[in-house]
Homo-oligomer: A and B are copies of this chain.
Amino acid sequence: MDRQAANCCGARADCSGCEARPLALCGALDPADVMVMSSIAQPRKLAAGRQLFQEGDPADDVFTLTEGMLKLYKLMPDGRRQITGFMVPGDFIGLAYGQNYVYSAEAVTATAACRFKRSALLAKMVEYPELEHRLLSLASNELAAAQAQMLLLGRKSARERLASFLLGIAERRGIAEGEAMPLPMSRGDIADFLGLTIETVSRAFTIMRKERLIALPDKHSVTITDGDALRDAAGD
């Protein structure tokens, strides 16, 4: 895969401790930003299911995801969980907080991330306003995504939620109708992202499969077989 081709540290000398992080995966960040940041980066690897940090931990670090997938979530005291987003390579984690993290982050698949001291990032932002500018634009996009998710959670039916979810992933990853799309998270994760139960998610998958809107080659892949009908089912 060409995702492994380039190292985001480039050939720069100041890349202490920052190993094999594909440049393309630094995503929304400019190559220039990546070089700025690589000087303060520390690599971090996580196996699936391990936590990067927990809600309430002191928020000393921020991260960029370079490989794999992370889920961000909030928990209620009785264990109810709401996943607020699935992060993919290029995404920034830990932007939004004060003293402590306000959500937990856990690896969905094996994951590689770059860790930065929050204080070092702040210093870099003063030095390179362009970096801050790009972080603001990232935060704005996340905010727009959060608002779309609020509409989904507050007003859509189970069927509409699942359809919107699948279309959203396909769009983000640029996957066309008829093409198999990886779905690394479990049904439980999907349920907690969509504000549903596992059973309701499973039933909705089955119904859409029987209606030939989608195909399910296996439990961690989907193919959108009728995009128009799926967009219809999404409600907007």
The bracket for how many chain A residues form the interface is 35 or more
Which residues of chain B are near A195, meaning CB under 8 Å?
A: 153-155
A62 to chain B, nearest CB (A): 11
Given contacts A82-B155, A97-B140, A139-B139, contact A150 B147 (CB under 8 A): no
Assess the A81–B146 pair: CB atoms within 8 A.
no
Tell me which residues across on chain B come within 8 A of A142, comparing CB atoms: 143
Q: Is the CB of A140 within 8 A of B236?
A: no
Q: Within 8 Å of chain B (Cβ to Cβ): is A11? A: no
CA distance A155 to B77 in the complex (A): 12
Chain B residue nearest to A133 in the complex (CB): B132
Is the CB–CB distance between B146 and A147 below 8 Å?
A: yes
Residue in B125, B147, B156 whose beta carbon sits within 8 Å of that of A102 in the complex: B147
Residues of chain B within 8 A (CB-CB) of A133 are 125, 132
Interface residues of A in 21-45 (CB under 8 A from B): none
Q: Is A141 an interface residue (CB 8 A)?
A: yes
A123 within 8 A of B: no
Residues of B within 8 A of A146 (CB): 143, 146-147, 150
Question: A194-210: contact bitstring with B at CB < 8 Å (1 yes, 0 no)?
Answer: 11000000000000000
CB of B151 within 8 A of CB of A150, answer no
| CB of A103 closer than 8 Å to a CB of B | yes
How far is it, in angstroms, between the C-alpha of A150 and the C-alpha of B146 when the chains are bound? 8
Can you list, as one digit per residue, whether each of A133-174 has a CB less than 8 Å from chain B (1) or not (0)? 101100111111011111101111000000000000000000
Interface of A toward B, CB cutoff 8 Å: 72, 74, 76-78, 80-82, 84, 95-97, 102-103, 125-126, 129, 132-133, 135-136, 139-144, 146-151, 153-156, 192, 194-195, 235-236
Can you list 7 A-B pairs, Cβ within 8 angstroms, ordered by A?
A: A76-B155, A76-B156, A76-B235, A95-B140, A96-B141, A142-B143, A153-B154
Kindly list the 4 A-B residue pairs having the minimum CB-CB distance in the complex, ordered from nearest: A154-B195, A146-B146, A153-B153, A96-B140
